[in-house]
Amino acid sequence: MANPIDVPSSPCSQKIADDLEQPLLLPLRRHSQSTSNCVTFLRTCFNSTNALSGIGVLSMPYALSQGGWLSLALFFVVVVICFYTGLLVQRCMDADRCIKTYPEVGQLAFGYKGRIAIAILMYLELYLVGVSLLILEGDNMDKMFPDTCVEFGSVSIKGKQLFVILSSLVILPTTWSRNMTVIAYFSVIGVLASVLLLGSLLWTGIADTGFHWKGRALNMSGLPTTLGLYFVCFTSHAVFPTIYASMEERTRFPKVLVISFVLCTFNYGLVAVLGYLMYGDEVESQVTLNLHAEKLYSKIAIYATFLTPFAKYALMITPVAMAIEDKLTFYGISPVLLVGTLLLISTMVIALTVPFFGYVMTFIGSFLCIIISVLFPCICYLKINKSSVKLGIETVGIVGIVIVGVVIAIMGTYSSVREIINSM
């Protein structure tokens, strides 16, 4: 007889065995149950849109500059792929109604080892997104308030480092809630911030820089970076199970994805085109760094960027915090405030150490996001439904997505790691 832990037929049927064998890697049932079936359709749309929007929008003009104008065609291909794999995540969860988390999808498909693999990569991805949010905040606040310095005796903290620390203090209270309904209110702020950024960029182009058809048509050497940044914009699949499990009406999740992807595609695409028309190949890894901080429209854009980490950090880090809390709860400890605080402190320390926003985002997009949001949904879906999947257009398409994802992950990861090493 097969080992029930290695090849489980259902996450629910293996709960007792999992609890006994691996208490430190329990699925997030306590939190999932506390937040399930309580979030309305509108709030779910805000959470999903906030998960997709945010830090990626600032790097879109840079991504376009690296790949050239023709890379916009690849942008829409990425949108379609990520939307489809989001639906595959839902289908995998629907295969067993007890599934509440992404690691449980891996367990259903590949047994306990599948859960471990997905859990490690998923939590690493979300953790690094948290790091990137703090780097983003430090860069833009330093742009707005250059040469700011605070002294504590003989210790002097200035520039980006100071603002990363200050931003962390402001974000800290948002990490103390695990209620998706509460987090939805932060998501509203994140969505409005994206709209403000788009409007201020348009205002900047009209009132200041103008729009000029410049830049390259295609840059083959820059395509790995471009694709990595495109993917990081639409790969929030690690939080989709949390959002899906919290829904009041789960059957409407495909509509949530449609709304979120349409809104974010429109926003990302316009920001990419406007930023590249304004600055061409001189655009920075964050387009806000090209703006003149003394102008009103520039201030609006940068202030909108300030809101993004505040609105997005809690949503992205919640699955990581819940996993740690579940492990500690097994031993009779329930440290919600402590876990949120320690996670924020640790991401802050890394943000102070590796302040290369563009390169970090490319690495996340090229390696972790593609694995979690492109490869795993396809592979898990095929494995879970192997008895009913037939060779046809959909199956061929899924296999094609896997092949393309592997190639992009290898090329993009190599390129981003090389750039990070060369810049340190």
How confident is the prediction along the chain (424 residues), in pLDDT tens digits per residue? 444 434 444 544 444 344 434 433 433 344 444 444 578 888 888 888 888 876 678 889 999 999 999 999 999 999 999 999 999 999 999 988 888 888 899 999 999 998 999 988 888 888 888 888 888 788 778 877 877 888 777 777 877 888 888 888 988 888 887 777 777 777 788 788 888 888 888 888 888 878 888 778 888 888 888 887 888 788 788 888 888 988 888 889 999 999 999 999 999 999 999 989 988 888 887 787 788 777 787 778 877 877 877 778 887 888 888 888 877 765 555 577 888 888 989 989 888 876 565 566 666 666 777 888 899 999 999 999 887 777 788 889 999 999 988 888 887 777 767 766 776 6
Per the CB < 8 A criterion, the answer to whether 409 and 367 are in contact is yes
Residue 83: in which H helix or E strand, if any? Answer: helix 72-94
Contact 49, 262 (CB under 8 A): no
> What single-letter DSSP state applies at residue 39?
B
Number of residues that make up the chain: 424
Instruction: Give whole-number Cα distances, 356 to 166, 317, 348, 366, in Å.
Output: 19, 20, 14, 15
Query: What is the pLDDT, as a whole number, of residue 17?
Result: 43
- Which has the closest alpha carbon to 102: 245, 5, 253, 241? 241
Give the three-state DSSP class for 332: coil
Cα–Cα nearest to 124, from 381, 307, 418, 323: 323
Q: Which residues pair with 39 in a beta bridge?
A: 247
**Three-state DSSP state, 369:** helix
Nearest C-alpha neighbor of 381 from the set 365, 367, 401: 401
Q: How far apart are CA 125 and CA 369, in angstroms?
A: 7
Q: What is the maximum span of the chain, computed from C-alpha positions, in angstroms?
A: 73
Instruction: Locate 6 and state its tokens.
Output: 């290695």
Rounded distance between C-alpha atoms, residue 278 and residue 296, angstroms: 17
Q: Position 224: which residue type?
A: P
> Alpha-carbon distance 308 to 122, whole Å?
21
CB distance 321 to 175 below 8 Å: yes
Nearest to 322 by CA among 65, 70, 72, 33: 33
User: Residue 77: which residues within 8 A CB-CB, separation 6 or more?
Assistant: none
Residues 6+ apart with CB under 8 A from 11: 18, 27, 96, 98, 99, 104, 107, 108
Residues 212/277, Cβ–Cβ less than 8 Å: yes
End-to-end CA distance of the chain: 53
Return the residue matching tokens 């795993």.
376
* Domain 26-423 bears CATH identifier 1.20.1740.10: yes
Residues β-bridged to residue 289: none
What is the DSSP code (8-state) at residue 246?
T
The ranges assigned to domains in the chain are: 26-423
pLDDT for res 123: 87
Whole-model pTM over 0.75: yes
- Specify whether the CB–CB gap between 140 and 301 falls below 8 A: no
Q: For position 36, what pLDDT does the model report? A: 44
Local structure of 258: helix, strand or coil? helix
